[in-house]
Homo-oligomer: A and B are copies of this chain.
Amino acid sequence: MPGRRPLRFDPIAEAARQWDAHGWTPATPGMAAVTSVTRVAQLFHGRIDDVLKPFGLTFARFEVLALLSFTRTGALPLGKLGERLQVHAASVTNAVDRLEADGLVRRAPNPTDGRGTLAAITAKGRRLVARATPVLNEAVFAETGLSARELADLVRLLGKVRRSAGDYGVP
């Protein structure tokens, strides 16, 4: 993780001050928001990686396992995985490669589409995600530093951004 030594001041507030000083005032709130989101994503990701490292997982691979464990059959086409996790098809191939090498998922031909491939979670994969999830919940998701009310506000605001960016919903 970068930036071990905390700054004595808030670098984002300082950047906002600079933006205003250069006459870019209309863009300042957006700049501060984008920078804040970027930095918090870094912080969360670092903590998640730290927690998952002992399990031999990255966040991307954990998300695949969690998603598969939620399905009725424990299997999904690779394309569906990329759609739900919002990542490129090549990234899905890569993540499934790693998971398969570790025996956590296995590939199977899609019975309903000869072009497709399914990723199916194995018993070993289910055991691992069952062990990792509580740790992640307690060490990261339950320790965000915000109250339930604040978390709900945050999710609502970010949902507006996602929605307005066309991330989901009907056009």
Interface residue ranges, A against B (CB under 8 Å)? 2-3, 5-12, 18, 24, 26-34, 36-45, 47-48, 70, 82-84, 86-88, 91, 133-134, 136-138, 140-146, 148, 150-155, 157-171
Q: Hey, which chain B residues are within 8 Å of A141, CB to CB?
A: 27-28, 30-31, 34
Q: Hey, which chain B residues are within 8 Å of A155, CB to CB?
A: 12, 29, 32-33, 36
Q: Would you give the shortest CB distance from A6 to chain B, in whole angstroms?
A: 5
Q: Hey, which chain B residues are within 8 Å of A32, CB to CB?
A: 151, 155
A2 and B88 contact, CB distance less than 8 A: yes
B157 and A154 contact, CB distance less than 8 A: yes
B145 and A10 contact, CB distance less than 8 A: no
Using known A-B contacts A6-B168, A143-B30, determine if residue A37 contacts B83 with beta carbons closer than 8 Å.
no
Q: Hey, which chain B residues are within 8 Å of A44, CB to CB?
A: 34, 37-38
Q: What separation, in Å, do the CA atoms of A7 and B163 have in the docked complex? A: 10
**A10-B159, A33-B144 known; 14 other A-B pairs, CB under 8 Å?**
A2-B86, A6-B168, A7-B84, A11-B84, A12-B159, A24-B137, A33-B158, A34-B44, A34-B144, A37-B44, A40-B158, A43-B165, A146-B161, A154-B158
Q: Which residue of B lies closest to A166 (CB)?
A: B6
Q: What separation, in Å, do the CA atoms of A48 and B31 have in the docked complex? A: 11
Q: Hey, which chain B residues are within 8 Å of A18, CB to CB?
A: 70
Using known A-B contacts A146-B161, A168-B6, determine if residue A152 contacts B29 with beta carbons closer than 8 Å.
yes
Q: Hey, which chain B residues are within 8 Å of A143, CB to CB?
A: 30
Q: What separation, in Å, do the CA atoms of A90 and B33 have in the docked complex? A: 26
